[in-house]
A and B are shown apart, each in its own frame.
Chain A
Amino acid sequence: MTTSALPALSDIPEAAIPGLLRIENSDRDATTPIILDMLRSVYPHDQIFGDFCPVQGFIEAPPRELYEYLADTRCLEEWTYSLRGFTETAEPGLWVSHDRLGDNTNIYTRTVANPDAMTVDYHCAWDQSEHLWMIYLMRVVDAQVVFDKPGSVVLWTNCHHPFYDRNPYQDTAPDKRKVWVGDFWEMFSAGHQLELDNLRAIAEYRAAHGLPIKPDWMSE
């Protein structure tokens, strides 16, 4: 019996990638202590939330309905902390609202959703709609599959785009606004968790009371 019939790594000279740990060069006895050493009881905030901001949770509501709710940009009016007053622009699918974290601040949002994968990506930006660089990646998973129980798992990841540290669109910013969205990056993990908690509370209330997860006004 062979361990592999596939020509794995045949395109790369042996030892060309140092530090690659595979069962062939590091057996279980050698690798187990390495893995145990990587486990910690406390992880530095920066290591978990430095370049990525992952939050996730279980929601007791049907996944397909939850997906359809999230796929409608107007849902952000309900479960986000600070996005309010959504109106569709002249450009179909592009919505403008206020991000009340900043004074006088417009935020533009285009939602890209895939019903097969149940992914919902919000492409957003403050002040201008030409370059939607703030991208909130969400995925709804059927909890029956991953937890063997009814409900939804929501995975939400955000990547630390360099514009969070430096606004390249200064000319579109309102006069005298003191804050920039990236100033809040360090708070995103807690802020997004707060918003995911909002989403859970709203969806679970509707599910428990027999209301549609996506309210009727959103379908009009």
Chain B
Amino acid sequence: MDFTDPTLRTPPVSLADVSGYLPGDPVGTEYFTQFSRSDRMAKNVMFRAPKGRHHVGRDETAVDMVERAVAPLVERHGAREISNIDVLLTHTQLPDNPVLGPGPEVARRLGMKPRWVFDIHNGGCAAFVHMMWTARMILQTTDARTALIACTQNCAGPVFTQSDIRGLAQAPVPGDGCGVGLLVKNNSAPILDIECRTYPEFAGDMEFSTNGDRKYWEPGAGQGCVTFTESKVAKVMTRGNRLVPEVAQAVCKRIGVKSSDIDTFVTNQPNRLFLRNWNEAMELPPERHPDTFDSCGNLFAAGIPVTLDAENRAGRLRNGSVVLMAAFAHAGDFAGAAAVRWGAAR
């Protein structure tokens, strides 16, 4: 036995449960094709876009979404367990208040008094893995026993239905939703390994622009949207193709499992091409790489927990199976992967 092995000195941390929430009635793709600038574009949109997605209501806040996503956890684990959470981490795609994250208000709404509350912005579409990594560190190094991590994607309705934006080919791809995870310091569904990497060389390639000179906080015309320059699209595509399998393979190697033996691989879901390329790169049959793209679109950070929840509720995640999660963020400035021995089967 290797007594210098850090896993012997650190307690196991489990992803004990996941849950998700999708706001409102599904919005069909016809909503967007009516605004397409040409028939050709409408056809292209029909081909590439998901069949449906959910849009958050105008007055529904990120706090509301987290509260609704946590409701099934309250039901399954008891209100007391949730209100006793020690660590609360949130990630919100479009903060309702740009200078303040929703963490403290989420805690108030759920009757919690957590000792560690962090609103974290940089994990992007890989935020679920990023927050598992952060929460695990806190649980392993303090007397904290439980953590709640919450990923809210809420920019599809507010941003991508603006009158200038909804006609763009990319407008129908995002969907709104929220996914949460419950982490507990025990061995019920142990996190086998996590790999998180920041790539400073790819930072700054994604912009938030108002399609003009206006800063987003300044008054005036011009609708805000996340953009890549046209020339960067191929670069981002190639990076994404590479980064997700890279971190996923790194985790596979360390836990001693061949990628083709992973029971369930869940990634973020920016588009169909990435989903196909990643599952080819991992040499997995498509059925072991489930997604919710067609019914939910690109859920950004919420994609991993929402898909895990859907698979779990459908009875397709077996206790004892190896579940691997992987994602990359923004234009490639962050990527993460985490493996869990599943223990939350319904």
Binding site for B on A (CB under 8 A): 41-42, 44-46, 178-180, 183-187
> Which of A41, A46, A178 sits near B231, CB closer than 8 Å?
A178
Q: Which chain B residues (223-237) contact chain A, with CB distance < 8 Å?
A: 229-232, 234-235, 237
A-B Cβ contacts below 8 A, count:
31
Q: Which residues of A contact B283 (CB under 8 A)?
A: 41-42
Does B281 contact A42, Cβ atoms closer than 8 Å? yes
State whether the Cβ of B280 lies closer than 8 Å to any Cβ in chain A: yes
Residues of B within 8 A of A44 (CB): 242, 245, 281
> Chain A nearest CB: distance from B212 CB in Å?
16
Return 14 A-B CB contacts under 8 Å, by A number: A42-B280, A42-B281, A42-B283, A44-B242, A44-B245, A46-B238, A46-B242, A178-B230, A179-B231, A183-B231, A183-B232, A183-B234, A186-B237, A186-B238
A186 to B238, CA, bound (A): 7
Which A residue's beta carbon lies closest to that of B236?
A: A186
Interface bin, chain B? 10 to 19
What 4 pairs between A and B have smallest CB-CB spacing? Answer: A183-B231, A186-B238, A186-B234, A187-B234
Closest to A47 in B: B242
Give CA–CA (A212, B214) in the complex, Å.
Answer: 59
| Apart from A180-B231, A186-B235: 18 A-B pairs, beta carbons within 8 A | A41-B283, A42-B280, A42-B281, A44-B242, A44-B245, A44-B281, A45-B238, A45-B241, A178-B231, A179-B230, A183-B230, A183-B232, A183-B234, A183-B235, A184-B234, A185-B234, A186-B234, A186-B238
Closest-CB distance, B259 to chain A (whole angstroms) = 9
Residues of A within 8 A of B241 (CB): 45
Residues of B within 8 A of A45 (CB): 238, 241-242
Contact residues of B with A, CB < 8 Å?
229-232, 234-235, 237-238, 241-242, 245, 280-281, 283
Bound-state CA distance A32–B230 (Å) is 46
With A42-B280, A44-B242, A46-B242 in contact, do A178 and B229 touch (Cβ < 8 Å)?
Answer: yes
Q: Which residues of A contact B232 (CB under 8 A)?
A: 183
- A79 CB to nearest chain B CB (Å): 22
Q: Which residues from chain A contact B235 at a C-beta distance below 8 Å?
A: 183, 186
Within the complex, the shortest CB–CB distance from B284 to chain A, in Å, comes to 11
CA–CA, A179 and B235, complex, Å: 13
Complex Cα distance, B242 from A42, in Å, reads 12
Q: CB-CB < 8 A to A180: which residues of B?
A: 231
Q: Cα distance A183–B232 when bound, in Å?
A: 7
> Shortest beta-carbon distance, B194 to chain A, in Å?
22
B33 to chain A, nearest CB (A): 27
Contacts of B281 in A (CB 8 A): 42, 44
Docked CA distance A208–B238 (Å): 39
Bound together, the chains give a CA A42 to CA B283 distance in angstroms of: 8
Report the minimal beta-carbon distance from A50 to chain B, rounded to whole angstroms: 10
A195 to B235 CA separation, bound complex (whole angstroms): 21
CA distance A183 to B231 in the complex (A): 5
Q: Chain A contacts of B245 at CB under 8 A? A: 44
Nearest chain A CB to B268 CB, angstrom units: 19
- Find chain A residues with CB under 8 A from B280 CB: 42
Min CB distance A36 to B, Å, is 15
CA distance A41 to B259 in the complex (A): 12
Instruction: Kindly list chain A residues whose C-beta atoms are within 8 Å of the C-beta of B237.
Output: 186
Question: How far, in angstroms, from A41 to B245 measured CA to CA in the complex?
Answer: 14
Closest B residue by C-beta to A190: B234
The chain A residue with its CB closest to the CB of B280 is A42
CA distance A42 to B278 in the complex (A): 11
- Min CB gap A174→B, angstroms: 15
Residue of chain A at shortest CB distance from B260: A41
Inside 8 A of B230's CB, which chain A residues have their CB? 178-179, 183
Give the residues in chain A near B234, CB-CB below 8 Å. Answer: 183-187
Bound form: Cα–Cα A44–B245 in Å: 9
Bound-state CA distance A180–B234 (Å) is 13
| Smallest CB gap from B246: residue in A | A44
Complex interface: chain B residues within 8 A of A187 (CB)? 234
Q: How far is the CB of B247 from chain A (nearest CB, A)?
A: 13
Which residue in chain A gives the minimum CB-CB distance to B241?
Answer: A45
- What residues of A have a CB within 8 angstroms of the CB of B242 in the complex? 44-46
Q: How far is the CB of B136 from chain A (nearest CB, A)?
A: 29
Complex: A183 Cα to B281 Cα, angstroms: 24
Q: Chain B contacts of A186 at CB under 8 A?
A: 234-235, 237-238
Minimum Cβ distance to chain A for residue B242 (Å) = 6
A19–B242 CA distance with the chains assembled, in angstroms: 27
Give the distance to chain B from A205, nearest Cβ to Cβ, in Å.
27
Nearest-neighbour CB distance to chain A for B124, whole angstroms, equals 21
